[in-house]
Amino acid sequence: MQFKRIEMQGFKSFADPVCIELNDGITCIVGPNGSGKSNISDALRWVLGEQSPKQLRGNKMDEVIFAGTTSRKPKGMAEVSLVVDNSSGMLPVDYNEVAVTRRMYRSGESEYLINGNNCRLKDVRELFMDTGIGVDGYSIIGQGKIQEIVSTKPENRREIFEEAAGIVSYKTRKQDAERKLVSASDNLERVRDIISEIE
Ligand code: ATP
């Protein structure tokens, strides 16, 4: 599976619509300091569902929206789309090309879309689970990440191998099922209490 392009507008320094084509092979992005290179990897993290402004080098999430310059007004919305080639069928959807979009408005409202259809953040997360591409995956190696992997606890390092082995989605589903079981058993206990009060 391959990233085909990143489209964005109103995201950080990219006020106007911009499309970055990612062709076969390696794509290098070069430019002077402060020209927006890291903002592109931030856009990638953000569209994949990043929830921490710190991971996007900010303090508040609305800082991803173009803040304006002396000559330009701020934008009211940031939008990023990531288009991936799914001809290998790695993503569990019946499309050869999958576009994931995230929008955020100054009002705080957020939207996620998969191929133009509104969806939940959970759907985006599940789509990329076990592919290594998700926001917690290993496809985005930021500064300091290697150091973090080497010095982290073995249990945390294991998560990286679990993602690569493709078992994260099963673990997540197991955790969901366990949560539901606990809640069902709590409800059952409450029902038993009520029955014993009635009897
Ligand atoms: P370096 O080579 O120094 O790491 P870089 O090319 O990676 O730099 P970035 O850190 O991606 O540059 O971009 C920083 C620029 O993005 C700064 O000029 C900053 O003002 C601008 N910027 C960040 N957030 C916003 C925003 N919300 N609105 C407008 N501009 C923004």
Q: How confident is the model at residue 174 (pLDDT cuts 50, 70, 90)?
A: very high
Instruction: Using the mean position of ligand 1's atoms as its centre, give its distance from the Cα of residue 84 in Å.
Output: 25
| Closest atom, ligand 1, to C-alpha of 42 | 11
Q: Residue 146 pLDDT more than 90?
A: no
In one-letter notation, the amino acid at residue 75 is K
Q: How confident is the model at residue 71 (pLDDT cuts 50, 70, 90)?
A: very high
Alpha carbons 26 and 126: distance in angstroms, whole number: 27
pLDDT digits (tens, 9 = 90+) for 23-39: 989 999 999 999 999 99
| Closest atom, ligand 1, to C-alpha of 57 | 10
Q: What is the DSSP letter of 75?
A: P
Instruction: Using the mean position of ligand 1's atoms as its centre, give its distance from the Cα of residue 128 in Å.
Output: 27
The per-residue pLDDT for 11 is 98
Residue pair 151/118 in contact (Cβ under 8 Å)? The answer is no
Q: Residue 139 pLDDT more than 80?
A: no
The per-residue pLDDT for 67 is 97
The per-residue pLDDT for 165 is 78
Q: Report whether 59 belongs to an annotated binding site.
A: no
Q: Report whether 88 belongs to an annotated binding site.
A: no
Q: How confident is the model at residue 98 (pLDDT cuts 50, 70, 90)?
A: very high
Test site for ligand 1: of 13, 40, 59, 73, most ligand atoms within 8 A of the Cβ: 13
* Architecture in CATH for domain 2-166: 3-Layer(aba) Sandwich (3.40)
Instruction: Using the mean position of ligand 1's atoms as its centre, give its distance from the Cα of residue 193 in Å.
Output: 60
The per-residue pLDDT for 129 is 85
The answer to whether the Cα torsion of 80, 86, 87, 93 is positive or negative is negative
The per-residue pLDDT for 175 is 92
Ligand 1 shell residues, CB under 6 Å: 12-13, 31, 33-39, 63, 65-67
**Structure tokens that stand for 170 in this block:** 């099963």
Instruction: Using the mean position of ligand 1's atoms as its centre, give its distance from the Cα of residue 57 in Å.
Output: 10
Q: Residue 105 pLDDT more than 90?
A: yes
| Vertex 54: Cα angle to 18 and 120 (nearest 5) | 65
Q: Residue 186 pLDDT more than 80?
A: yes
The per-residue pLDDT for 118 is 97
